[in-house]
Amino acid sequence: MDHLLRDVLQAAQLFSLPDIYIRLRQVLDDPDYTAAEVAAVIDKDPALTLRLLHIVNSSLYSFATSVDTVSRAVTLLGSLQIHDLVLAASITLTFKGMTSYLVDMQRFWRQSVYCAAACRLLADRVGTGGRERLFVAGLLHDIGHLLMYQTIPRHAQQALMQARTDDLPIHLAERNLLGFDYAAVGGELMRLWELPASLTELVRCHLEPEQAPHLPVETALVHLGALLAKARHENGRFNQGVLTASAPVWPLTGLAPEECVALCEEVDLDFEAVIRFFA
């Protein structure tokens, strides 16, 4: 099945992030960059500026006063957190308009945003920091499926059917049939986009967090966020059946299943606050 993976990865090269994000990353790659330079890049894109300010002024942050300029947002959040929010917005724009008979795209993005919101709150609960990075990882955790649905739809459909027939998690059905899974594809897309290595690791390893070489705890949070999102949008039960969490995530995170479930009400609120900016 090596040719299938090759076909998917060749297609991945056709997807590129918006120029505005590329310019922002160039600024941040300069060790002498200033916050003013970061704001100046974003200000050149009115649509992105509006989206970013809406997010920063949402209940996701709950600042005491309104944030009405990008420069103010950069001052409050820091350049690296702004980078991650711009990246999240850029990725949704990259795939905007994509269609597939294998997936309801609206539900796909709603589930991805829910995962992102869950990961952010789980990061707060565990105290790992980097909650914007976790938000982006949650948003991207399933992005490999979009490439597979576009490039090898027949094989992807076979995996979906096997997962349903045999009551398997989808990634196991994909490995059985294809020799690879959607997380590997997503991780490769991150590498091709030259995104931060930490983000690539979170996406590539979220199915088996104990395999993450540098960030196993954060990767475990993405694993849990993905399962909470599936339970919320696919009418499953968290930590039961195909939505059973990998055993190592509990000692890695120090969380218990009931704590994750109890967090869902708060996740719902954050999800509703930001979904219209990403879906």
pLDDT digits (tens, 9 = 90+) for 242-256: 999 999 999 999 999
CB atoms within 10 A of CB 207: 22
Q: In the chain, what percentage of residues exceed pLDDT 70?
A: 99
Give SS3 for 170: helix
Q: What is the mean pLDDT of residues 58-82?
A: 90
Q: What is the mean pLDDT of residues 95-124?
A: 89
Geometric angle at alpha carbon 121, from 115 and 127, rounded to 5°: 130
Mean pLDDT, the chain, rounded, equals 92
Indicate which CATH number applies to the domain containing 231. Answer: 1.10.3210.10
> Which residues, 6+ apart, have CB-to-CB distance to 164 below 8 Å?
none
Confidence band of 1 (pLDDT split at 50, 70, 90): low
Q: What is the DSSP string of 44-91?
A: T-HHHHHHHHHHHTSTTT--SS---SHHHHHHHH-HHHHHHHHHHHHH
Residue 229 has pLDDT above 80, yes or no: yes
Identity of residue 58:
S
Q: What is the mean pLDDT of residues 97-124?
A: 90
**C-alpha to C-alpha distance for 60 and 76, rounded to whole angstroms:** 14
How far is CA 163 from each of CA 80, 150, 173, 207, rounded to the nearest angstrom?
39, 19, 5, 16
Tell me which residue range forms the domain holding 224.
2-278
> What pLDDT does residue 4 have?
85
pTM over 0.75: yes
**C-alpha to C-alpha distance for 213 and 223, rounded to whole angstroms:** 15
Confidence band of 114 (pLDDT split at 50, 70, 90): very high
Geometric angle at alpha carbon 249, from 246 and 251, rounded to 5°: 130
pLDDT tens per residue across span 192-225: 899 999 999 999 999 999 999 999 999 999 999 9
pLDDT tens per residue across span 255-272: 999 999 999 999 999 999
Total domains in the chain come to 1
pLDDT tens per residue across span 175-193: 999 999 999 999 999 998 9
Residue 102 has pLDDT above 90, yes or no: no
> What pLDDT does residue 17 have?
86
Q: What percent of the residues of the chain are helix, what percent strand, and what percent coil, each to the nearest 5?
A: 70, 0, 30
Residue 97 has pLDDT above 80, yes or no: no
